[in-house]
Structures are given as structure tokens and as C-alpha cells.
Amino acid sequence: MSPESRREQLLELGTQLLSTRTLDEISIEVLAEEAGISRGLLYHYFGNKQDFHLAVVRRAVEQLVAITAPRDIEDPLEQLAVSIGAYLDYVVENYTGYVSLVRAAAGGNEELRAIYEEGRRALTDRIFEVTGPAGLDALGLSDSPTMRLLVNGWAAMLEVVIIDWVHDPRGIAREDLLGRLARALPGIVLA
Amino acid sequence: MSPESRREQLLELGTQLLSTRTLDEISIEVLAEEAGISRGLLYHYFGNKQDFHLAVVRRAVEQLVAITAPRDIEDPLEQLAVSIGAYLDYVVENYTGYVSLVRAAAGGNEELRAIYEEGRRALTDRIFEVTGPAGLDALGLSDSPTMRLLVNGWAAMLEVVIIDWVHDPRGIAREDLLGRLARALPGIVLA
DNA sequence: GCGCTTGTTGAACAACCGTCAATAGCGTTA
DNA sequence: TAACGCTATTGACGGTTGTTCAACAAGCGC
């Protein structure tokens, strides 16, 4: 098998296994057996277990960022809501995998978290890039350490609320939720 | 040594080690050696490594909830800020251990997360208990699934922002931060 | 003293990570 | 076609660590 497809196969398999186990519960042994290869071969493609974990998470984050491409809409809040909606839809369609990814990144070591936070950063940055300067002003945003702190907190809130809501969508309709989450940003930074 | 004190010794030791290592980096081997006992004895007190982890986290969460007892102040927002302040102070004084705890809980298995979320639930519930019905109304709160969803998100935001701020307090003063975090709650739920 | 419970140990077993020398398949070139 | 090199792949070995278990010892009631 060609190196590329083999690498891809192993990463894909790792991502799949992530749905049922924690990241470090995926033993090289089980993975190799599941893939029909020897343990040694895994060390040929990835230096060690840690590197394999990094590769799996990196791939998943890249997919997430790639799939949730933003649209361009006039009203800043509406635009924000649509972007959040795309993100939410992705979570809906990949619930178990997404949850596993978040948990793995949150509980992992520094490198793992760095990869994940970089991805989150890319998502939030993109949301604001699409929003023009005038729109940012309308949202009460400016670039300062405090704002970055609060926006980061808002993003963390997004993740938790979205996971909770996808887990049990009763209580509030999708559109209502998106509106509330979008308006929560100025609600926080202007408070 | 009496069973109680031995259990306590082991849990305390586990909590201490949590400051320098990840939860599952605490090997039974090192723990036993550090405590001056054999590995086998650990299995006499705790069924397995997993159970030991659960006990350590449970104890740490209980301490956290116990230490951050609320005071009673007239103004709801002021009261909220003070409660958050007590929480923040705890994080400042136990930074590395607290971070390890949060990460371990976030990345751990279902049981671990359940324990942690129960603790967070106790913290938020307590904040609202202390606040009277009139105060809750002033904060824009009521008891509905949507509110619980958003309040949970607000709590998640608190955790992230507080960890970030303790890690690097430049950019905003403590009192300012507490005020913003408190006002963020009505900012979110009234948005 | 005798049996019973229980804290405690150390050895043995099992699972798993990581290494490495060896092999086998395959394309290239003389 | 045969020799050669490259590389994907293997299988065995060593070391660490979680887990089990039979045995020991120390206290305690009878």
C-alpha cells in the first residue's frame, strides 16, 4: 500500500475509534490489529503514540475548519448567527466524533491543546474577518487584551452550549439559539 | 496505620502530585513509592487506578466547593462578583492543581466528568440560591431549560476566562474583571 | 493460646509502548 | 535477466506499568 493511503487509513481509523474510546485509550496494539498491520509499522509512520495522537487531532481540526466555511451577509449579527449555525450543523452531523475531539484536546498535553486552540482561533478569527470594521464596531468589539480574553470566553461558551443543545435540543429552537448566541457576544463585551 | 488516615494520606498525596503531572501520569508505582507502601496496598483501598482517580477528583471538587463559600451582600450583581472573586482567589492559590483538575475532568471518561460537572452545578446553584427571588429577577434569570443552558455556558466562560486571566493578569484589573464577568450573566440571558 | 479479621507485602501475570535487526517486494539499471 | 538499492513491513525482544493473588503479620475477642 502506498505511504499516503496507509497514513490516511490509520488516521481515519484513529478518528473512528475516537468515537467510542478516549484518545489515550486507543492502544497501538488495538489500532494495529484493527488496521491489519503490525505494531512496528505504526512506528514507521508516526514516531510514537503521542505523535499519532497529534496527527489525528490535527486532521480532525483541519476538517472542522475547512467544512465550516462562512457566507457573507450584510447585518453583522445575522452574519454571526449564520456562521454559528454552520458550526452547529457540523456538530450535529459529527456529534460523537466532535465531542471526542473536544474532550481529547481539552484533556491532553500542551501540544494537543495548542493544535486545538489554534483551530478555535482560526474559527473565531474568520468570523471576525468576514465581519467588516464597521460591523465589528457595531458589535462593540475592538482589539485589546481584555477583548481577546472575553471573546475567548464567549467561544468557550459557544462550544459548551452547542454541545449541550445538540445533546438535547428541547427547550429552544435552533434559530432562537443562534440569535441568542450571536447577541451574547455584544452582551458580554458591552456589559 | 488506620484505614481512614491511610486513605486520606493517599488521596492527599494524589492531589499534591496533580500539581506537577497529569492525572493519568500519576503511576501507581510512583504513588506507592512516594507513600512508602507497596503497590498492592493501593488496590486494597481503591479497586483500580480508575477508582483512585475518581476518589482524587471527588475530593478535590468537594474541597473547591467547600472553600468558596458565599457571603451575603445586598446587591445581586455585587454579590455575584464577590462569589466569583472567591472562586478566582482559589484558582490563584491553587493554579497548577486546579488546572490539572479541570483538564483531567474535561478529558476523562464519563464518570470523571460527571463528578466534575456535579461540582460545577453545585457552585452555580449555590450562587443562585444565595441570590433571592427578587435578585434573580433583577439579573434577568428564571428557571427554564433555555436559562439553564445559557447559565451553564456562562459558567464555562467563567472557567476559561479565569484560567486565562490568572495565567496572565495583565490587561485588566481584578475588580474590573469580576464586574465584567458578573454583568456578563445578565448580558447573556437578556440578549 | 486460638481463631478471626484485616492491613500489608512481594512475586507473578498481563497489557502495552517502543526498538531494531531482518525480510520481502519492487522499481531501476547494467 | 540479473544484480542492486530502496522502503514498506514484520516479528521478536526489553522495559514499564496496571492488576491479581497467595501468604504473612499484627491486633483482638474468646
Residues on chain A touching B159 (C-beta within 8 angstroms): 156
The residues, any chain, with a CB within 8 Å of residue B7's CB and separated by 6 or more, are B45
* B2 closest-nt by C1' vs CA: C7
Closest by CA position to A35, among listed A44, A95, A99, A51: A44
**pLDDT attached to residue B126:** 84
The H or E element spanning position A3 is helix A3-17
Which chain B residue is nearest to residue A180, measuring alpha carbons? B191
Instruction: Work out if A124's Cβ lies within 7 angstroms of strand C.
Output: no
Nearest by CB to residue A191, choosing from B105, B161, B180, is B180
CA of residue A162 to C1' of nucleotide D21, angstroms = 48
Euclidean distance between CA atoms A150 and A170, whole angstroms? 28
Residues of chain A with pLDDT > 70: what percent?
A: 100
User: Which residue stretches of chain A have pLDDT < 50?
Assistant: none
> Residue written as cell 465589528?
A136
Locate A103 and state its grid cell: 474532550
Condensed to tens digits (0 to 9), the pLDDT of residues A124-162 reads 888 777 778 888 898 999 889 999 999 999 999 999 999
Kindly list the distances between the CA atom of residue B84 and the CA atoms of A38, B154, B160, B167, B180, in Å, as whole numbers in the listed order.
Answer: 53, 12, 13, 17, 11
Q: Which amino acid is at B135?
A: G
- Taken in order B11, B97, B106, B158, the sign of the CA dihedral is positive
Instruction: Work out if A39's Cβ lies within 7 angstroms of strand C.
Output: yes
Tell me whether residues A152 and B161 touch, CB distance under 8 A: yes
HSE-CB at A166 with a 13 A cutoff on CA atoms is: 18
Domains, chain B, ordered by start: 3-56 (1.10.10.60), 57-189 (1.10.357)
HSE-CB at B115 with a 13 A cutoff on CA atoms is: 22
- Using CB atoms within 10 Å of the CB of residue A66, give its burial: 0 to 12 exposed, 13 to 18 middle, 19+ buried: exposed
Instruction: End-to-end CA distance of chain B: give it in Å, rounded.
Output: 58
Mark which residues 140-169 of A lie under 8 Å from B by CB: 144-146, 149-150, 152-154, 156-161, 164-165
Closest by CA position to B124, among listed B157, B93, B102: B157
For residue B6, is pLDDT > 90? yes
User: Please, where are the H alpha helices in B36-144?
Assistant: 39-45, 49-67, 76-93, 95-107, 110-130, 133-138
The residues, any chain, with a CB within 8 Å of residue B19's CB and separated by 6 or more, are B96, B97, B100
Instruction: Work out if B37's Cβ lies within 7 angstroms of strand C.
Output: yes
Instruction: Work out if B34's Cβ lies within 7 angstroms of strand D.
Output: no
Q: Are A120 and A155 in contact (CB under 8 A)?
A: yes
Q: Are A150 and A184 in contact (CB under 8 A)?
A: no
Assign B42 a pLDDT band (cuts: 50, 70, 90).
very high
Which chain A residue is nearest to residue B110, measuring alpha carbons? A22
**pLDDT attached to residue A49:** 96
Instruction: Work out if B73's Cβ lies within 7 angstroms of strand D.
Output: no
Condensed to tens digits (0 to 9), the pLDDT of residues B61-97 reads 999 998 888 777 788 899 899 989 999 999 999 999 9
**pLDDT attached to residue B70:** 78
**pLDDT attached to residue A8:** 96
Q: Are B146 and A171 in contact (CB under 8 A)?
A: yes
* B3 closest-nt by C1' vs CA: C7
Assign B128 a pLDDT band (cuts: 50, 70, 90).
confident
Kindly list the distances between the CA atom of residue B168 and the CA atoms of A42, A57, A146, B99, B179, in Å, as whole numbers in the listed order.
Answer: 39, 27, 11, 14, 18
- Nearest chain B CA: its distance from A172 CA (Å): 6
Tell me whether residues B160 and A165 touch, CB distance under 8 A: no
* B27 closest-nt by C1' vs CA: D17
Q: Is A108 on the interface with B (CB under 8 A)?
A: yes
